[in-house]
Structure 1
Amino acid sequence: MKILLFITLFTFSAFNAWGCTKTLTVATNESYWPPYVILKNNALGGTEIDVLKAIFKSSPYCLNFSVLPSSLRAFEELKQGRVDLIFAASKTAERAEYAHFTLPYRVEKMLLYKHASSPNVNSINELFKKSLTVGVNRGSVFGDAFEQLRTQYANQVVLTGESKKRFILLNKQRINFLIDDSLVAQYFTKQYSNIMPAALVEPINVNNVHFMLSKKTVTADDIAAINSYITNNKAVIERIYQSHQ
């Protein structure tokens, strides 16, 4: 695998483009999403980046990494064919209208987190019925049950673009709870000692995540090739994530 280097409006990549037969622009809206994505000194690192590099190593594809302002912007850019790939994507019928999805490459567990001063609740339903607020990522998928509640109690759902902002809001008690990926939360709960899992509440969503690729720029043959890379690198992928559990 070879990765290009250029910067255009928060666009970052790696090096040496010689030998590519196709270049894929990879979009993310996260600059600090440990352990998955960490932007430091104009270079992207983290487990998602390591997994992408492992999967595409020795492939004919090059990768550009572009950091965009929001997940909604990333999805729109992919829909229009201006970016090619989004990682850590949940598959939905709406997204499948304009995007291909690869085989899953990891499982995402979304949990509820609280401030030490937040009241205890036994379920997400109880949270909403008590008129409490919850911060969630704008554009994330949390399953059908939560989506119904989010529509019903829209005024109690605080949308944010980045995990770090949600944890700051919860630490300052601007919100009562938040929902986030369990591995991401491990990092932020070390930083904020007053934030902890809402232990009485079942996981909000446990879901396979995929690479999501634009139907405008990526072919079925490309998807078949990428699926083979995922399958052939399962052991490597598992080792990358296990090192952060």
Structure 2
Amino acid sequence: MKILTLLSCITLVLLQIGCKPAPVPPSAPADAATTPVTETAPAPTAQPAVTPPEPVAQACVLKLGFEAWEPYQYVGMDQKPAGLDIELVQAVATKMNCEITPQQGTWVDLIAGLKAGEIDMLLGASKTAAREEYAFFSEPYRKEQFVLFVRAAEVAGLPQNTMTDFLSAGKKLGIVSEYYYGEELAQLYSDDKLKTNFVEASLSELNLARLIDEEIDGMLEDRFVAASMLRRKGLDKMVSPHSITLGDNDVYVMFSKTTVADTKVGAFNAAMAAIRQNGEYDAIMARYQQ
């Protein structure tokens, strides 16, 4: 009995020991156990270098004023500008990579437009001190000669020597407003005693009509322009050139100082020299001198 009781006690003790939970080792402090991980912001992505855009070259466009002045400037059968001066400036503009936009008008209106900057360039111009105040001038590109034209039936009875003689005899002379005919005529025009002998018009055609109607006794015009105009109107038998001429004058392209830089005038001169050298200039001149 005692032995059974002793065995029961031993068994009970063993059961208590077997049911006791295993000891849990103490946790290490956080600082000692692990190193905290610090989140690092991602490095900025390198941006590619930005290349500034190249400046866009301004298109070269020149507004060209021209008048009806055949064979130098006129509107052809295709309704496009034509003539010796027009062809020359187109050839130069091509060398400059420039575009020409034409605008027709009377010389008086074209001069006003050039002064105001509404027109960039005019052809067939003479250089004067007054014009140099508002315009640049190209190198001279041709010459012109103004001739006195009169009624054919009266040639023999008119003063034959000089323009001074013609005006001093009381003859009326038709001129175009704002044209420059050379120093000789400029001095005669400034003479108060002779100034009333000058009759101004906006177009050569008006002078021709006045000459036919005997309102004036003579008119000044470029020799080739007058020959073309008389042939076109069928008046070459009624109006003839007189022996009085005003000599040769240099002719220029005139540029508005308001809209055209002097460097562009230099480029124009260089291009004109280039077409003289490569034969284009002579080829154009030959077509109008036949």
What TM-score do the two structures reach when normalised by structure 2? Answer: 0.72
CA distance in 2: counterparts of 1:112 and 1:241, whole angstroms:
24
Alpha carbon RMSD of aligned pairs, Å? 1.8
Amino acid at match of 1:76: A
Q: Structure 1, unaligned stretches of length 5 or more? A: 1-18
Percent sequence identity over aligned pairs: 23
1:80-132 residue CA offsets vs partner (Å, 9 max, x unmatched) = 21110011010111111111101111101111111123332121111111111
Between the two proteins, the alignment pairs up a number of residues equal to 222
Cross-structure match for 2:175:
136
Amino acid at match of 2:73: V
Amino acid at match of 2:229: F
CA distance in 2: counterparts of 1:51 and 1:134, whole angstroms:
32
CA distance in 1: counterparts of 2:207 and 2:280, whole angstroms:
31
CA distance in 2: counterparts of 1:168 and 1:93, whole angstroms:
32
Once the two structures are superposed, the pairs formed by residues 39-188 of structure 1 within 5 Å of their partners are 39-40=75-76, 42-68=79-105, 70-118=106-154, 119-121=157-159, 122-152=161-191, 153-188=194-229
Shift of 1:179: 0.6
Cross-structure match for 1:194:
238
Amino acid at match of 1:198: H
1:124-166 residue CA offsets vs partner (Å, 9 max, x unmatched) = 1111111111111111111222112123222211111222222
Structure number with larger C-alpha Rg = 2
Q: Structure 2, unaligned stretches of length 5 or more? A: 1-56
Once the two structures are overlaid, the 10-residue window that deviates more, 43-52 or 231-240, is 231-240
User: Is the 8 Å Cα contact of residues 142 and 205 (structure 1) preserved in structure 2?
Assistant: no
Shift of 1:231: 0.6
Cross-structure match for 1:225:
267
Amino acid at match of 1:91: K
Runs (4+) off by over 3 Å: none
CA distance in 1: counterparts of 2:169 and 2:285, whole angstroms:
37
One of 71, 82, 94 as aligned partner of 1:35: 71
Cross-structure match for 1:11:
none
User: Is the 8 Å Cα contact of residues 112 and 177 (structure 1) preserved in structure 2?
Assistant: yes
1:23 maps onto 2:61 in alignment: yes
